[in-house]
Amino acid sequence: MATLKYISGFGNECASEDPRCPNALPEGQNNPQVCPYNLYAEQLSGSAFTCPRSTNKRSWLYRILPSVSHKPFESIDQGHVTHNWDEVDPDPNQLRWKPFEIPKASQKKTDFVSGLHTLCGAGDIRSNNGLAIHIFLCNTSMVNRCFYNSDGDFLIVPQKGKLLIYTEFGKMLVQPNEICVIQRGMRFSIDVFEETRGYILEVYGVHFELPDLGPIGANGLANPRDFLIPVAWYEDRQVPGGYTVINKYQGKLFAAKQDTSPFNVVAWHGNYTPYKYNLENFMVINAVAFDHADPSIFTVLTAKSLRPGVAIADFVIFPPRWGVADKTFRPPYYHRNCMSEFMGLIKGHYEAKQGGFLPGGGSLHSTMTPHGPDADCFEKASKAKLEPERIADGTMAFMFESSLSMAVTKWGLKTSNSLDENYYKCWEPLKSHFTPHSRNPAGPN
């Protein structure tokens, strides 16, 4: 596979042309009477026309045929995609899933779209307010099929197997320990090379942003220059029998046929694009004196709500780092939260639960549901000699956190057959260490 090229920067105004057609971008205007190379001009708007410049998102695409060239959409089988948050009764318990099973290609060929499974979510698509968490389980590439989402943005976290993603803006190769964001309305198709699994955070009506840094200053966390945008690439390909365009609209799946590949954009410019990011580039900030910093310090991307400081969804990671806090219980603290916390594991072992929480699985701690380190972690960390130590080497856990109270789907609770019914038992061995007659019991240090 040839090395792919990218443009660097988050949210930048970019311009790109396929080198096979130099000077394909119009000069000095967006929509000339006749475009270079007799292309069609098409604008893709990711925000209202009248949004402030700081939040206005749009790109101009110069393509062989406009995207309107298709047959009517018709409803198709929904598979395990849903936005029905009332399928089953609410469950406030701590939930943990074993690694979700990937179907064998020898039994059933499953591509990215047919392998989408909605795990949980909240809110309302029609009012552009909410989110969903999906699991994708696939074993074959999308052939003469593409997908686009009218409902929101997809933040895709591959866990097993790399993804070659064709988009209208160009191609991206996304491997485990990288993420990508395919924003609302962008058509894409995914090639896979083995049995493949991953997680998706979908947000309705808003876009992901870099978190504000406040007193951290101008640099830190996910730096803008490390986000990569594909460069223009096109194919002028007729498809005998028809190319299938699949659309998720108001939570339902629809399909339309057309005669050509949708990846026919010869040039583009704008600030509304897909992008990818390597999690190894995250600049970690941590407590260096005492106490455990709140996990918000590890936020990569945020999708803000209308309330200041409150997110529809945050994407947070727990990367390799140094632990040096003195006189401190260093693992994550015991917690009850007004937010909902879904955690996944890309690789390695999560520091607060060395067993049971496995790559390709997940956990959900719902609004005000207590959670924290298991009994074994507590005992070890309470007695450990506090020296500078590496934490989470070879590991990458992450969290999708939301201010909304998420409901779990029937697939998540029952059909997936992945729910760990014994999760609660990891806290059962916790015992009282209360010493009512000794305020300062002897510690390990």
Per annotation, catalytic residue among 292, 349, 433, 437: 292
Determine the topology of domain 282-420 in CATH. Jelly Rolls (2.60.120)
Contacts of 98 (CB under 8 A, 6+ apart): 358, 361, 418, 419, 420
Whole-Å CA distances, 194 to 115, 137, 362: 14, 11, 21
User: How far is 332 from 377, CA to CA, in rounded Å?
Assistant: 10
From first to last of the 445 residues of the chain, give the pLDDT tens digit.
689 999 999 999 999 999 999 999 999 999 999 999 999 999 999 999 999 999 999 999 999 999 999 999 999 999 999 999 999 999 999 999 999 999 998 899 999 999 999 999 999 999 999 999 999 999 999 999 999 999 999 999 999 999 999 999 999 999 999 999 999 999 999 999 999 999 999 999 999 999 999 999 999 999 999 999 999 999 999 998 899 999 999 999 999 999 999 999 999 999 999 999 999 999 999 999 999 889 999 999 999 999 999 999 999 999 999 999 999 999 889 999 999 999 999 999 887 666 778 999 999 999 999 999 988 889 999 999 999 999 999 999 999 999 999 999 999 999 999 999 999 999 999 999 999 999 887 666 5
Write phi, then psi, for 216 (nearest 5 degrees): -60, -35
User: How far is 84 from 86, CA to CA, in rounded Å?
Assistant: 5
196's enclosing H/E stretch is strand 196-204
User: How far is 36 from 22, CA to CA, in rounded Å?
Assistant: 10
Strands 170-174 and 275-278: unpaired
Beta bridge partners of 247: 148, 254
Q: Closest Cα to residue 302, out of 368, 158, 401, 224?
A: 401
Number of Cβ atoms within 10 Å of the Cβ of 15: 14
Q: Closest Cα to residue 321, out of 279, 372, 384?
A: 279
Q: Closest Cα to residue 183, out of 158, 161, 156?
A: 156
Token reading at 204: 């309705």
- In eight-state DSSP terms, residue 20 is T
Binding residues: 335, 341, 350, 371
Catalytic residue at 292? yes
Binding residues for homogentisate: 350, 371
User: How far is 8 from 25, CA to CA, in rounded Å?
Assistant: 20
Q: Closest Cα to residue 353, out of 333, 375, 369?
A: 375
Q: Closest Cα to residue 273, out of 92, 35, 18, 46?
A: 46
Which pLDDT score is estimated for 443?
62
Q: Name the CATH code of domain 72-263+272-279 (choices 2.60.120.10, 2.40.30.10, 2.30.40.10, 3.20.20.80).
A: 2.60.120.10
- In eight-state DSSP terms, residue 382 is H
User: How far is 321 from 275, CA to CA, in rounded Å?
Assistant: 25
User: How far is 11 from 270, CA to CA, in rounded Å?
Assistant: 9
166's enclosing H/E stretch is strand 163-167
267 in Cβ contact with 169 (< 8 Å) = no
Domain boundaries, the chain: 72-263+272-279, 282-420
275 in Cβ contact with 227 (< 8 Å) = yes
Which pLDDT score is estimated for 2?
80
Token reading at 25: 């971008």
User: How far is 106 from 85, CA to CA, in rounded Å?
Assistant: 33
Which pLDDT score is estimated for 315?
98
Token reading at 27: 């000069």
391 in Cβ contact with 328 (< 8 Å) = no
User: How far is 411 from 85, CA to CA, in rounded Å?
Assistant: 12
Which pLDDT score is estimated for 445?
55
User: How far is 234 from 199, CA to CA, in rounded Å?
Assistant: 28
Q: Closest Cα to residue 77, out of 250, 246, 192?
A: 246
Binding residues for Fe cation: 335, 341, 371
Q: What is the dihedral of CA 347, 351, 356, 362, to 10 degrees?
A: -60
- pTM of this structure: 0.96
Which pLDDT score is estimated for 177?
98
Which pLDDT score is estimated for 351?
73
User: How far is 268 from 266, CA to CA, in rounded Å?
Assistant: 7
Contacts of 349 (CB under 8 A, 6+ apart): 357, 395
415 SS3 class: helix
Which pLDDT score is estimated for 352?
62
